[in-house]
Amino acid sequence: MNLPNKITVSRIFLIPVFLIFLLAPLPLGETEIAGTVLLNSQLIATAIFIFASVTDWIDGYIARKHNLVTNLGKFLDPLADKLLVTSAFVSLVELGAAPAWIVVVILSREFAVTGLRLVASSEGEVLAASNLGKLKTWIQIIAIIMLLIENVPFESIGFPFATISLWAALIITVYSGWDYFSKNKEVLLKSR
């Protein structure tokens, strides 16, 4: 369990903390930002989500720079990303901030790729995240952040950046899933 893997595990442990601040009725007051009133607990949840998301870049950077890339890290890192993003998207549906059908499509891709990874693992292979998959994750993170803060500051000028980000996340998620399966189809063919 090297430093990058410890950082990845810490991201997983931040998820329940994020969910408590986002979903529990905590009496922490509210703040007005650019004409939009946000709950302070919502802002804290967003800060935790941003911090957890940044650790994804940090653990990868440390692992590559210090030659600490491990099979455990290749497995844990995308899993931590999926758990964080899944918990955020499901919460946004519960809060009425994201349409359920978009979240179902996005999460279906995540589960399908995780399934492909499990099949590869049973064949003794580890499938690392692709650059397109990493781009997908960052676009999803931007969409989630914008939905968490209710499109601030763009809401004040009537620009639907949160909605555009969510649609961009949907499109890149579907495309990256197709790309992932097309480039790794031999894993499925070998497992028959």
Instruction: Give the tens place of pLDDT for each residue, 112-123.
Output: 988 888 888 777
| Residues 63-70, mean pLDDT to the nearest whole number | 88
pLDDT exceeds cutoff 70 at 191: no
Confidence (pLDDT) at 192: 63
Confidence grade of residue 185 (pLDDT, cut at 50, 70, 90):
confident
Q: pLDDT by residue (tens digit) across 92-101? A: 999 999 999 9
pTM score, two decimals? Answer: 0.90
Running DSSP on this structure, what letter comes out for residue 134? H
61: region left, alpha or beta (phi > 0 left; psi from -120 to 50 alpha): alpha
Give the pairing type, strands 36-39 and 30-33. Answer: antiparallel
Distance CA 114, CA 104 (A): 15
